[in-house]
Amino acid sequence: MLTIKREDPKAKNPLERQQNWGEYYLPFSEEKLRAQGSRCMDCGTPFCSTGAFVSGSYGCPLFNHIPEWNELVAKGKWKEALNRLMMTNNFPEFTGRACPAPCEGSCTVALHDSAVAIKSIEQAIIDKGFEEGWVVPQPPSRRTGKRVAIVGSGPAGLAAADQLNKAGHLITVVEKADRIGGLLMYGIPNMKLEKHVVQRRVDLLAQEGVQFVTNTELGKDVTLQQLQADFDAVILCTGAQVPRKLEIEGATARGVHVAMDYLTQSTKHILDERSLTISAKDKDVIVIGGGDTGADCVATALRQGCKSVVQFGKHAQLPQERAEDNPWPQFPYVFTLDYAYEEAKAKFDIDPRRYSIITKKIVRDSAGQVKEVHTVEARVIKKSSGQVYVRELAGTEKVWPADLILVAIGYAGADEKLMDQLGVVHENQLAKAEYGDYRTNIDGVFAAGDMRRGQSLIVWAIHEGREAARECDKYLMGASQLP
């Protein structure tokens, strides 16, 4: 750590990579990976591998054995590193690509230097495992005869399926989309997670005995009662699919779309060459919402050939270093130039993000098509009493030309109408099932992932899927050997 500095994988040229949909970074050499692994100090108390809550969450909720596989990589013991990695994480090829790495924010080295490149090493281990043929189907040696239906094939559902299949149960995953993977397939764009990576894992699970049923929507194509009749237990992992509404004038104008609808259609176009009804080509694009989904919209719009792209965030620009109220080992909320913003800056010579912006209204033309967006700058004011309010700044009003508006302001929760139809008790638009227990009010029916927790990270979804699988196994067998 004292002599070797952190390095990240080299990214492809930001202008050139906009011409295709491939992953935007280049792999590390083995020599560099071993050097990066050697930066890990094998701390007496490794906060990186401890998912916990202390004034916010920190560390990895999967409790990955991070120092152990870092040391094994440093010694060139790749197969042993893979074995340690797979003990706690069902899908490191997903987290290594699309997780924001709270483990790195809690790395002890990050107290005084740049964190160990945990995420890059994790991805390299699993990719090497597949390349070398070490990752092979491992169907269970015995079957219990118990049948479990899992509704939803995102990371929570797939993790639950993998664990319960390992326990010997007969697993069927029911998915309403035409492909398996949930947001892994259709919510995360190709340049961050190529879809053959998702399909490779789905194929492996199928070879191990997991059955997949697509184009089947719970509450429409199949009822919960039918699943209960055919299976011994059901786990609901349908996600937090209800987007927050943009409650402003003109929000229903033609040309205003939910970000996830846009990203989903874009991926389907790439995979199946389906026609695009939402395209950024030759358009002035406004993205409302400052998070990762908004960034993915920016990157997608660039690849579709937009005329311009701007992203509005209601919060102020993040600081260059940790703020006092964001101490280690919390995830560091600091300014970074994400892949999408690097690409936009390369093309238009400016970072597309605009901070502390409130969108006031959307104006449409005589045909009902969006033509412009009205905004005002604002500041968050905190009184001595602790009360916080937002003050709009007079004289900062602005009108932005717009042909396409993508709303990326997050999700309100799970589908309340569906939960009512199923008879699942819910609260604050989430299925009511205690953390660590995951049982709903219906006997034999469990809920996990974003449907229970709310919009969160891939790593938390996998964690909940694993835990729900263990509790379901206990329900079926009276005890469980699952971790």
Q: What is the pLDDT of residue 214?
A: 98
Collect the ranges in the chain with pLDDT lower than 70. 1-2, 52-56
Enter the pTM of the model.
0.95
Q: What is the pLDDT of residue 334?
A: 93
Give the pLDDT score at 30.
93
The reported pLDDT for the residue numbered 3 is 85
Please give, one letter per residue, the 3-state secondary structure of the chain: CCCCCCCCCCECCCCCHHHCCCCCECCCCHHHHHHHHCCCCCCCCCHHHCCEECCCEECCCCCCCHHHHHHHHHCCCHHHHHHHHHCCCCCHHHHHHHCCCHHHHCCHHHHCCCCCCHHHHHHHHHHHHHHCCCCCCCCCCCCCCCEEEEECCCHHHHHHHHHHHHCCCEEEEECCCCCCCCHHHHCCCCCCCCHHHHHHHHHHHHHCCCEEECCCCECCCECHHHHHHHCCEEEECCCCCEECCCCCECCCCECEEEHHHHHHHHHHHHHHCCCCCCCCCCCEEEEECCCHHHHHHHHHHHHCCCCEEEEECCCCCCCCCCCCCCCCCECCCCCCCCHHHHHHHHHHCCCCEECCEEEEEEEECCCCEEEEEEEEEEEEEECCCCCEEEEECCCCCEEEECCEEEECCCEEECCHHHHHHHCCCEECCEECCCCCCCECCCCCEEECCHHHHCCCCHHHHHHHHHHHHHHHHHHHHCCCCCC
Domains, the chain, ranges and CATH?
A: 17-131 (1.10.1060.10), 147-241+412-477 (3.50.50.60), 245-409 (3.50.50.60)
